[in-house]
A and B are shown apart, each in its own frame.
Chain A
Amino acid sequence: MRIIPDMAHWAGRCGLTRPERGTVREEFAASSRAREVRKIDPMFRAWYRDSDVGKVCLGTARSRAAALVMEETMRFSGSVLLTAAVLAATTAPAQAAWRGYISHPLGFAFAAPGELKVEKGTYSGPVAGTHASLIYRFLDDNIEYKVMVVDVNAQANQSANLLGEAEFQFQNQKKLLVDTIDRFDRQYGRKLTIDLPNNGGRTTAAFYFVDGRIVSLQATVLPANGDYDSPEMGRFVDSITFSPEHAPDDATELPAPPK
């Protein structure tokens, strides 16, 4: 931007001794010295009023007005977009809320989404033998959540072996991704993640031995979900607590198993 000769004159007059090429006119127009000169020098006032400097001032004001209009326009557009997003979200299928569950007889609590189903199953191993198992199952957004409880109290003296067997069988002949020790509430267990064969999904599981029972939480992301890095698996297995004082106040008491 070239310096207008008149501006150079008045820049010197106003004490802006080194107006440079490309000096923003607004800086000159905003100069306090220039305002003082404008008060006392009628020629400068005339020039200021009629020249680009004055128009720059006006232009600045207009720019500010234009900016305000632009800002309002963008706010309105943003509101429209936000409203549209909310409408879209309310019409999309909602993911179920996570709820707390507790079993005082079994001595643990956990959280899970979706509808609870209670089932009986069978657990077996070379060391454990065959035992009935109790399964609390949930399904939400194509992720299956399962809490399995196996009563092996008659063999509790083999707790370390029974727990080790359960962990070993879970990952045996499968692709093991994570195998780590898990410690909390004075309980030591194990957390494992495996890929199921034939692209059957990914399961994260935690295993503990508590009060004569093998307790295992397992979350499986099914292929229909596809997000094998979903944090919901970890959220589920990490929600377990063996201290009732850590359970939420509104936790639902788990029903007794079917006979």
Chain B
Amino acid sequence: MSRIILAALTGAAIFMSTVPALAEWKSYVSKDLGVSFMAPGEVKASIGTFRGDVAGPRQTIVFRATEDNIEYRVTVLSFRQAQAHGAILLGEREFMFRQRNTVLSDTFSNVGTGKDTIYGRKTVIDLAMNKGRSTGAFYFTNGKLYTFEATVLPAHGNLTSPDPGRFVDSVKFTGAAPGAIELRAPKVE
């Protein structure tokens, strides 16, 4: 009996050593952009571009990480001169995210409480041509449009993974978890 148990434990240890280890989830904060979130793997910053009918062409700040065939992305656009149009800009971004994709859910997503509540939306879509499933959360506050997207790629195999929800639900606009890693936002033109 003891030999059987020992053999089972040995087999489990061998199995665990061959399975690739999943990266630990860490807290990140960008004081420049006033946002914090959690993500696995290494987060890298870059400059991107965005174009909308209302928003027009704009440069974006992008924080990106990829882990276990799930892509995590935070995109921030600045509209300091158009804050009064925030509702329209937010609506346009939500609309573009879901356009030509299959919408699975579309719900309220609020961060904070009371008079500090930031009201946004959370949308889950299946990407066209079986390219995966994407969860997006959208907010407009302090003159900035924030988009949080987590896309489960087909190679992951589990479109119902809880990790995208964990990512979008970790967003904070005030304060950050202790020990959060500070992200430096690249400068846009």
Contacts and interface: CB of A to CB of B under 8 A. Distances in A.
Interface string B108-134: 101000110111110000000000000
Interface string B94-111: 110010000000111010
B176 interface: no
Looking at B86, B94, B118, which has the most chain A CB atoms within 10 Å of its CB? B86
B94 to A, nearest CB: 6
Contacts of A218: none
Contact of B119 (A161, A179, A187, A188): A161
A116 B120 CA distance: 35
Contacts of B54: 186, 188
Nearest to B108: A168
Given A127-B117, A156-B84, A159-B88, 7 more contacts: A159-B86, A163-B87, A164-B108, A167-B108, A187-B88, A208-B87, A212-B84
A199 interface: no
A239 interface: no
A157 B86 contact: yes
24 contacts: A126-B114, A127-B119, A156-B83, A156-B84, A157-B86, A158-B141, A159-B140, A160-B86, A160-B119, A161-B117, A161-B119, A162-B87, A163-B119, A164-B110, A164-B119, A164-B120, A164-B121, A165-B117, A167-B119, A168-B108, A188-B95, A190-B91, A209-B87, A212-B84
A104 interface: no
Contacts of B140: 159-161
Contact of A168 (B94, B110, B115): B110
Interface residues of B, number: 30
Interface in A104-143: 126-127
Contacts, number: 81
B117 A186 contact: no
Contacts of A180: 106
B53 interface: yes
Nearest to A128: B115
A183 interface: yes
A89 interface: no
A157 B119 CA distance: 14
A158 B79 CA distance: 12
Interface of A: 126-127, 156-165, 167-168, 179-181, 183, 186-190, 208-209, 212
Contacts of A168: 108, 110, 119
B68 interface: no
Contacts of A209: 87-88
Contacts of A162: 87
B84 A165 contact: no
A206 B4 CA distance: 67
Given A126-B114, A157-B84, A183 B91 contact: yes
Contact of A126 (B95, B108, B117): B117
B143 interface: yes
Given A209-B87, A209-B88, A186 B53 contact: yes
Contacts of A156: 83-84
Contacts of B110: 164, 168
Nearest to A163: B87
Given A157-B143, A165-B119, A179-B106, A186 B83 contact: no
